[in-house]
Amino acid sequence: MKSGSQPAALTLLDPREGHIAFQLQNFTLAAGSVFSERSNYFNVRWIKTGSGAWDLDLATFSFSSPALLFAAPYQDILLRSQVPITGVCIRFHAEFLCIETHHEAVGCNGVLFNNVYGVPLTRLTPDDEPVFDAIVEQMQAELGFGALATSEILVSYLKIFLIKATRLKISQDACATESLAPRIPPILDRLKALIEQHYRSKHRPADYAKIVGMNPRALGKLSRTYFRKTLTDLIRERILKHAKCQLLHTLRPVKEIAYEVGFDDEFYFSRLFKGSTGCSPQFYREYETEIRGGKNLLPVDKLESMRPKHAA
């Protein structure tokens, strides 16, 4: 390996399309460096040494090793180092392990990935590190063998990795909630509930500030302090989370989905979507459906349960 270059990635290709299905790579980042990426892969970065900031879209989260960082497909990633960082990056495509459609039992969707209100990282303790180390070593060995049923075995290892990370994240979040409960304003729980109830019809921060009886500027400051996002960002992310789900799992027209989340102007909605994901709603649906072989589309009897129940 040449000085300053990244170690070669261990990669499993999709046999049908030839694109990367799963990839494992050791990486280093010099002090003061920045790494940016946006892709259609789930991304897990295990920070073994170092510290820095993990930017997803417009939110910034500080971290120090050892830690696991998570990003969902199409999120704008920015990894900034304060001191030299070493770690392992795991990338996988939903065609390889679709946590959103066919592998809900893994439990990481909405915890590690696609959590509008959560922090997309979790700390590891000295007792946790050997557990994840052992799983990664098994993945590396399997990728090196390239033997029969490598894909199936890697899926199993990846599931174990994600389940253990999810359990750890849930446990740490519960402990943080208990220890910080007196300091976190209860109004934020109400705000989250209100966004979940009204994001399809109320898009302005002032609408929520009025309901909770707060000054919009003060409520926005609380949002930035505890969610690392502006109130506008929270509302927009919740809208787009719903839109992505509908685009990915149904064949409903873009115009119908836009109207469902409160946009009479389909083109304005499309610009908002492209600004967040880097692609248009139509491209997102067509590309993801093609590379997943249509397995992302849910049966008719499940589509109705995905339609939002409009608030009274």
pLDDT exceeds 90 at position 212: yes
SS3 189: helix
- Output phi, psi for 91, to 5 deg: -120, 140
Return the higher-pLDDT residue of 85 and 145.
85
pLDDT, residue 265, reads 95
Confidence of residue 183 (pLDDT cuts 50, 70, 90): low
pLDDT, residue 103, reads 63
pLDDT exceeds 90 at position 247: yes
What end-to-end distance do the CA atoms of the chain give, in Å? 62
Confidence of residue 99 (pLDDT cuts 50, 70, 90): confident
Of residues 215, 218, 223, the one with CA closest to residue 191 = 223
pLDDT exceeds 60 at position 2: no
Return the higher-pLDDT residue of 62 and 306.
62
Given strand 10-13, what is the order of strands in its sheet? 10-13, 20-29, 85-92, 42-49, 67-71, 121-123
Confidence of residue 19 (pLDDT cuts 50, 70, 90): confident
CA distance 94 to 101: 9
Summarised one tens digit per residue, pLDDT across range 266-280 is: 999 999 999 999 999
Residue count of the chain, please give it.
Answer: 312
Within 10 Å of residue 27's Cβ, how many Cβ atoms? 18
- Which residue's entry shows tokens 């109830």? 197
Rounded to an integer, the average pLDDT of 152-170 is 95
Summarised one tens digit per residue, pLDDT across range 106-156 is: 889 889 999 999 899 999 999 999 999 999 999 999 998 877 788 999 999
Rounded to an integer, the average pLDDT of 70-88 is 95
Summarised one tens digit per residue, pLDDT across range 219-241 is: 999 999 989 999 999 999 999 99
Q: Which CATH architecture has domain 10-180?
A: Sandwich (2.60)
CA distance 233 to 188: 15
What b/e string do you get for 103-112 counting C-beta neighbours within 10 Å, with b at 16 or more?
beebbbbebb
In the chain, domain spans: 10-180, 187-306
Confidence of residue 182 (pLDDT cuts 50, 70, 90): very low
Confidence of residue 100 (pLDDT cuts 50, 70, 90): confident
Confidence of residue 210 (pLDDT cuts 50, 70, 90): very high
Q: Which class does domain 187-306 fall in?
A: mainly alpha
pLDDT, residue 310, reads 45
pLDDT exceeds 50 at position 311: no
Within 10 Å of residue 177's Cβ, how many Cβ atoms? 10
Confidence of residue 214 (pLDDT cuts 50, 70, 90): very high
pLDDT, residue 4, reads 41
Confidence of residue 15 (pLDDT cuts 50, 70, 90): low
Q: Is the dihedral of CA 94, 298, 203, 235 positive or negative?
A: negative
Q: Is the peptide bond before 253 cis (omega within 30 degrees of 0)?
A: no
Q: What is the mean pLDDT of the chain?
A: 88
